[in-house]
Amino acid sequence: MNMEYDITDASDDYYMINGRAFPYTLRESIIEMEQDKKVKLRVLNGHTESMALHIHGHKPTITHYDGVDNGPSSYITRDVHGIDPRATHRFRTQWC
Ligand SMILES: [Cu+2]
């Protein structure tokens, strides 16, 4: 977080949560959870390799695959979600 970041660096090793990439995910968009409050997350894997998303203390439910909601039968709730390269997924989670 205390590093210099070159915005002209065109590397493909990034991901975004709710439209923010690191370090702004820490600085400006910390997600505060409250009991019984649902939170939506939009996650983009901008990397060339798959990534694993794990949110400590939560089991997020994936609801949209690349912007498409295929209905409750496609929703998956688990500790870790794999996200393919260039994929955008939407999740909802709740304090549990
Ligand atoms: Cu954990």
- Give, as residue ranges, everything with CB less than 5 Å from ion ligand 1: 56
Structure tokens at 16: 């975004």
Interval 52-64: pLDDT, tens: 999 888 889 999 9
Which sequence spans correspond to the domains of the chain?
15-94
> What separation in Å is there between the alpha carbon of 81 and the centre of ligand 1?
12
> What separation in Å is there between the alpha carbon of 45 and the centre of ligand 1?
20
Q: How far apart are CA 38 and CA 6, in angstroms?
A: 35
Interval 29-57: pLDDT, tens: 677 778 888 889 999 998 889 999 998 88
* Topology annotation, domain 15-94: Immunoglobulin-like (2.60.40)
Number of H helices, E strands in the chain: 1, 8
Give yes or no for residue 75 having a pLDDT over 80.
yes
| Threshold 0.85, pTM exceeds | no
Q: Which whole number is the average pLDDT over 17-25? A: 80
> What separation in Å is there between the alpha carbon of 54 and the centre of ligand 1?
6
Report pLDDT for 10.
65
Give yes or no for residue 18 having a pLDDT over 60.
yes
